Structure 1
Amino acid sequence: MTTKKLSLPNNMTPKNNSKKTLCLLCLGLFVSTLSAQSFKLGNVSKHELALTADPVFKDAGAVVLSRQVENRLGRYIDVYERIKIYTPEGYDRATIQIPYTDVEKVKGYTYNLVDGEIEKTKLDKDFIFDDEVVEGVEFKKFTFPKVTSGSVIELYYRATRGTLADLSMQYAIPIRDMDIVIRNESHRNYNILQNPKAFLKVTRETDNTKTIIRATDVPALQEESYVYDMDEYRAKLEFASTGSIYGSKINSFEDIGRLLMKTDDFKRAFKSRHGFNSLLGDILKDAKDDREKAKIIYQWVHDKIKWNEYYGIYPDNSSSRETFTKRKGDLADINLLYLALLRAAKIEAHPALASTRSNGLPLTPSYRSFNYLMVSVMIDGAPYLVDAAHTEARFDRLPEAVINYMALVIYDDGKVVWEEIKEPAHSDEQVMVSLEIDDDLLIAGKAKERYTGYNAFEYASYLKNSSDRSLERIADYALDGFEADAIEVTHDSIRNNVDVTYTFEIEDAIEEIGNQLYLKPLLFLAGDENPFLQEERKFPIFFGYPKRYRYNVTIQLPDGYNLKTLPTPIRLELPDQIGTFMYTISYNQPRNSVQLQSLYQINRSQVNPASYFDVKEFFKQMLEKEQEQIVLIKT
């Protein structure tokens, strides 16, 4: 498909409503008296080096023969890996970036079979460098020397930070044998959670000192199109504290609500102030009902209070007064101020905790399960989730990143209720094109485009962040010979609309054979590649959000030509009202023009993999129709 039509935003299914929990038994601080796991390097055999293909994963370019990890929570993590390189496609596995900071030890060797003997080449420390991935955060990175088809590389490292970070159990290449030993040497208790969206069977052994997790023949995590983040489906371990909010233990979601509402710092952030009354009296003087009041207060907060782009559920400012006075704060500060103003206006409202898509589903009672705070507003007796902080939020539309499962609404008495985060309204792309064909078969035309919802956010973000304010990419379509000019963009931030107009010319879009002309009437709006070509699908299809694309094209035929054939109209419907495609085209003989209307609509953010074959066939037929041509014949 074209970049415009099927661009994915930067989902998760609520049906996975329980995590596989591996309980790490520990009582407070435990200092192990057992010796550390042995990570002896150099046990590479001639048999391993002589292998030309893996006996299990025969097509793999590289395979992890052994992955051994000892994680002493709170102290350090030791990692040993032995990787076999089979083909040039596996060479990139020789470049390693250690996923931890504060690495104390790094040892590595490359082994090759040369004239029947093992050649061992050490990873020189001079080739290990620090890679600053984000400002102030550096990771060790290096490339093993003398790597070729048949090589085995061996790596050991120790890191003293990051022991509580997610621990990967699956790579982009297979893992033949994996052993993970976990010992708790911290001051907290933890549950070990296995990603419930991953397809990996493990064995577990637990005693009062450690947990051992083993797996064999772990398949590679295969990329699929239309996935929000492949890491969401990676087999991995998460260490969830059964710990506390300000020192109190959390055993349930009710504990989270109860403890937050007992915390003065949290409550001060949405305490109503007398100073609010003057503001509310001014901005609400013409409001007729609670909905209108809530929207007016929302717009004031959203416009006047600057978000510092920090997420979280805890306020940074000391009180609602400080946020009101400073006119800035983090996500929790601003939304709790909105809550305070709503209550001052006698509108029922409560804090609501949520988790962004990148943070995962909030399935376990832990402070790490939530990284987002918004407001549940009662309007006409029904709850309404609102975010007044995020720049991509509107009163009737939450940011795309937080359309994820449910929110935990907390009442003043500490009771909690789950509230569904509903699918947003459709985001639209509407394009109207009129064009003419001259005697030299050059196409010239005008276009008007309108974007709403998340589509508009994407364009507004580009306009805001573009260093040179160039508009060329706004009308940049992947079609040879396409050139746009006179581009104008209007952004209505209140209604969240972006309007784009431009003129264009297209060369070589018409094929002339004998006395006939062939032309694809959708031109640069037509898709060209089906993203769903795999024979099967493991993961949900992530469309991001409900979306709708409407195209209207008028073609003025050139003098001396009449219409010979048109594509036939079509209507496609996906089961369960997942989506629709409609294509109609007609000929106006008196005007000698062709009119085309096209609608492509997806009604869900995410679609189950069980519907994959329907979606695959839907896209196949849609793309075939968009590639069909009209035929003109010379009179």
Structure 2
Amino acid sequence: MRVPFFLILFTLTFAVFAQDYDFGKVSKEELQENYNPLDSAASATYLYKYRRTYFNYVKNQGFQLTTEVHDRIKIYNKEGFDYATKAIWLYKSKSGREKLNSLKAYTYNLVDDKIEDVKLKKDGIFETEKSIYYDETKFTMPDIKEGSIVEYQYEITSPFYTNIDEFEFQHDIPVKKIYAEFESPEYFNFKANTKGFLNVIPRIENKRGKITFTEKVRSTSKGFNGIGNSTSTSFETSEVEYTKQVNTYSLENVPALKEEPYVNNIDNYKSSVNYELSFVHFPNSQIDYYSTTWESVVKAIYESPDFGSELDKNGYFENEIDALIGSISDPLQRTSLIFDFVKSRVKWNGYYSKYTNDGVKKAYKDQVGNVAEINLMLTSMLRYAGLRAYPVLVSTRANGVPLFPTREGYNYVVSYVKIDDTEILLDATNKYSTPNVLPYRTLNWQGRVIAEQGGSQLIDLYPKEISNNSISMMVSLDESGTIEGGYRSLKTNHNALAYRESFNEADKDDFLEKLENKYGGLEISDFKVVNAMDISKPVMETYKFVKESQADVIGGKLYFSPMFFLKSNENPFKLETREFPVDFGYPSSINYKIIINLPDGYKVESLPAPGGFMLPDNLGLFKYNISGNDKMIQLSVESEIYQSIIAPQYYDVLKTYFKQLIEKQNEQIVLTKA
């Protein structure tokens, strides 16, 4: 049984655990533990997490960042085997790269009451280039069993001292003990940004540090009576002392924070601290400011040669755009033509970035580019066409919500156009995207519209227009409970975009097999999709079907839900309480129109009652209407969610709403023999 979140003991103490958790000092008691006493449902537990990040001065290179990591993980069952695999991402750029050093790792098992350890060997470590920005070192621990403990230790050195990896104090499994430390010299001023629901406060101390410089000195002296010279070499050392600030965190019994349905990114709610560099001030030098405010962040991004100046380049496309829109004066039509032109001209290479890599001109020439190259190009073309167009900084759902001023908070860019009072968001990386229908990955709270010279304003990225899914079905039911009939669905906006992405990019046989399995072995024939590529129209899916056992035959009566295999069976919301917003991504509506032809010789004994209910504050509604006679039954069901985001204070009523919806969809018609 899981202990409720608010009852779990969470303590903050400053005892140093390193003495009890030296690498390799695994105890029998740890190996004999069968479950976490505070979270018996956990498949694994971090027994100990250690991290220390500090600055080192390297001759001829300056300050570098070093991060030491030591994790010890208890695995209780097979579901916890995933925690025996570790992936370490290492950032790289034109100016340098991060390096992994001193990796050692062991698996421990209790065999015949003795502790046995198995070392991770080199052939179990794999290095992969994940992108132009990241390499990955990945390993899976050997000899994993239920009850094993895995332990690893490594060091990362980085030249990128402006980018401190987030200190995470909460994970999807419990943590028994954490010791973390961040140490920075007085020359670097960092701002600590915290998030999550745990009150984590560091102990802050000032300590003395020093840098030792060693210089080789050569001296030449004349020989006796000025005849001949001799050269000698000596070494001179000097020291520079400075103050360093040390932030220390020691925590015990940190509860797990697990993924839940309709959460945009669970990492947004994990307890953590992000150290953001505000400024650098070396002796006898001017202060070099970084990201202290959103204004300074936006200004720095705009002034980057890989961002703002790319918007001013237009010579490479002028002839094509002139030919495309020369006779068109309507601004909406101009916008649409240029948007479609970019989507068809330049293919997205799959890389996210707010900065160009090779530049917009090369992307246009090669017909392939990253996110910034495509959407900055689009923005530049729209401006050239006389439209009020601006880039918009976006943090994707996987990147989290940028709660604090940080250059790393945004990893994506889209385009914004304002025509009179109409605001339009565009993303030309997705060929199925339409105006104000952005790819799902970008639907993440707010973006920042960047005006000329780096000013900015926030804009809501969630769509206002509802995405519809209208389903109609003609069904014939026989006396054995088998149904056959025809199905048709019409999808618009984000529902259509999602369908086109899954259908057009899939093997058609695999797609059809998954569809049949989705509905429990439905037999489908005459499958057809209309407007799969014509994004100006709703996408339509039609097929014929047969499915057995859709009615229970008991005592000469037939019992069945009029929604058959389309009904919902499980409430996605199971927690007693929820501290996070419910994120549906976009407002949506699903409507069912079902006509059921009844088997000969039967009559209706009872029908579900029509009904409906609403969520408060115009958040959503459900309607259920049914009518019929002994030949045919007609059903109309509507379910609508009007808001992309629903605040946690509505969680109880939302949970009740889905409970009632499922109960209503599962209510049964009863037929009896005439």
Question: TM-score, normalised to structure 2's length?
Answer: 0.78
- Provide, for residues 275-313 of structure 1, a one-character-per-residue CA deviation record: whole Å limited to 9, x for no partner: 755544443355453223222222222222322222222
Q: Secondary structure of the residue that 1:616 maps to in structure 2?
A: helix
Count of residue pairs the alignment pairs up:
588
2:230 corresponds in structure 1 to none
CA offset at residue 220 of structure 1? 1.4
Q: Does 1:158 align with 2:155?
A: yes
* Cα deviation code 1:383-429 (max 9, x no counterpart): 43332333343123122221222222222233222233243422222
| Offset of residue 106 of structure 1 | 0.8
Change (3 A) 1:412 1:61: closer
Question: Quick check: 1:520–1:628 contact (8 Å CA) kept in 2?
Answer: yes
Deviation at 1:559, TM superposition (A): 1.6
What's the CA shift for 1:181? 1.4
Structure 1 residues 348 and 113: CA distance shift in structure 2, 3 A:
same
**Kept after mapping to 2: 8 A contact 1:433/1:554:** yes
- The AA in structure 1 aligned to 2:170 is Q
Separation in structure 2 between the aligned mates of residue 391 and residue 231 of structure 1, nearest angstrom = 29
Which sections of structure 1, spanning at least 5 residues, go unmatched? 1-36
Measured against aligned partners, the alpha-carbon deviations of 1:221-247 in whole angstroms (never above 9, x if no partner) come to 234233233333223343434479xx8
In structure 2, stretches of 5+ residues that fail to align are: 1-17, 56-63, 91-99, 207-243, 281-287
Q: Structure 1 pair 167/629, CA: closer, same or farther in 2 (3 Å)? A: same
Could you say which structure has the higher strand fraction? 2
Separation in 2, partners of 1:314, 1:243 = 22
Please give the residue correspondences for 1:470-489 in structure 2 after superposition, counting only pairs within 5 Å: 470-473=510-513, 475-476=515-516, 478-480=518-520, 482-489=522-529
Q: Is the 8 A contact 1:408 1:419 kept in 2?
A: yes
Residue 116 of structure 2 is aligned to residue 121 of structure 1: yes
1:462 corresponds to: 502
Inter-partner Cα distance in structure 2 for 1:304 and 1:502: 34
Greater alpha carbon shift after TM alignment, 220-229 vs 616-625: 220-229
Indicate if the aligned counterparts of 1:457 and 1:496 stay in contact, CA closer than 8 A.
Answer: no
Partner of residue 586, structure 1? 627
AA in 2 matched with 1:400: Y
The CA distance in 2 between the partners of 1:258 and 1:172, in whole Å, is 37
Task: Tell me by how many angstroms 1:619 deviates.
Answer: 0.8
Which shows bigger deviation, 603-612 or 100-109?
A: 100-109
Alignment check: 8 A CA contact 2:278 2:289 kept: no
Letter in 1 for 2:592: Y
Partner of 2:658: 619
Instruction: Give the conservation status (yes or no) of the 8 Å contact 2:48–2:178.
Output: yes
1:407 aligns with 2:442: no
2:551 aligns to what? Answer: 510
Q: CA RMSD in A?
A: 3.4
Q: Distance in 2 between matches of 1:383 and 1:542?
A: 23
Q: Does structure 1 conserve the Cα–Cα contact (< 8 Å) formed by 2:69 and 2:153?
A: yes
Q: Could you say if the C-alpha distance between residues 368 and 520 of structure 1 is closer, same or farther in structure 2, counting changes exceeding 3 Å?
A: same
Code of the residue aligned with 1:390 in structure 2: it is N
The 5 Å alignment of 1:261-280 reads: 261-263=302-304, 266-271=307-312, 273=314, 278-280=319-321
Specify whether residues 445 and 309 from structure 1 end up closer, same or farther in structure 2 by C-alpha distance, changes over 3 A only.
same
Deviation at 1:456, TM superposition (A): 2.0
Within 5 Å, give how 1:129-168 maps onto structure 2.
129-131=124-126, 137-143=135-141, 145=143, 149=147, 154-160=151-157, 164-168=164-168
What is the letter of the counterpart of residue 67 of structure 1?
K
SS of equivalent residue, structure 1 residue 413: helix
Partner residue in 2 for 1:384: 424
CA distance 1:443–1:250, shift in 2 (3 Å): closer
Residues 277 and 41 from structure 1, CA distance in 2 versus in 1: closer, same or farther, beyond 3 angstroms?
closer
Between the aligned partners of 2:296 and 2:508, the Cα distance in structure 1 is 50
Residue 572 of structure 1 is matched in structure 2 by: 613
Q: Is the 8 A contact 2:267 2:400 kept in 1?
A: no
Counterpart CA distance in 2 for 1:239 and 1:316 is 27
Matched position secondary structure for 1:462? helix
Question: Counterpart in 2 of 1:65?
Answer: 47
Aligned to 2:68: 78
CA displacement at 1:566 relative to structure 2: 0.8
Aligned equivalent of 2:388, options 323, 348, 356: 348
Deviation at 1:485, TM superposition (A): 1.0
The structure with higher relative contact order (CA 8 Å, sep 6+) is 1
Evaluate the alpha carbon distance shift between residue 455 and residue 203 of structure 1 in structure 2; reply closer, same or farther with a 3 A threshold: same
Work out the CA distance in 1 between the residues paired with 2:311 and 2:302.
11
Question: Structure 2: how far apart are the matches of 1:575 and 1:371?
Answer: 36
Cα separation, 1, equivalents of 2:129 and 2:500:
25
Q: Which residue of 1 aligns with 2:460?
A: 420
Amino acid at match of 2:522: F
**Does 2:366 align with 1:358?**
no
Name the CA distance, whole Å, in 1 between partners of 2:305 and 2:85. 47
Q: In structure 2, what residue type is equivalent to 1:626?
A: Q
SS in 1 for 2:453: coil
Q: Percent identity?
A: 27
1:375 aligned to which of 399, 408, 415: 415
Native 8 Å contact 1:306 1:327 kept in 2: yes
Of 108, 111, 115, the residue aligned with 1:110 is 108
Match of 2:565 in 1: 524
Partner SS state of residue 293, structure 1: helix
- Equivalent of 1:544 in 585, 592, 600: 585
Amino acid at match of 2:634: Q
In structure 2, what is the equivalent of residue 219 of structure 1? 255
Letter of the structure 2 residue corresponding to residue 524 of structure 1: F
- 1:489–1:498 contact (8 Å) kept in structure 2: yes
Task: Indicate yes or no: 2:279 matched with 1:233.
Answer: no
- Quick check: 397-406 or 46-55, which moved more? 46-55
Aligned equivalent of 2:541: 500
CA contact 1:168–1:237 (8 Å) conserved in 2: yes
Specify the alignment match of 1:28 in structure 2: none
The one-letter amino acid paired with 1:308 is N
1: CA distance between counterparts of 2:476 and 2:546? 10
Cα distance in 2 between the residues matched to 1:167 and 1:585: 55
Rg comparison, structure with higher value? 2
CA deviation vs aligned residue, 1:449-489 (integer Å, no higher than 9, x gap): 12222222222222333246544146425444521111111
Shift of 1:180: 0.5
Residue in structure 1 matched with residue 15 of structure 2 by the alignment: none
- 1:576 Cα deviation (Å)? 1.6
The answer as to whether partners of 1:94 and 1:143 remain within 8 angstroms in 2 is no
In the aligned structure 2, how far is the partner of 1:272 from the partner of 1:146?
Answer: 56
**Which residue of structure 2 aligns with residue 430 of structure 1?**
470
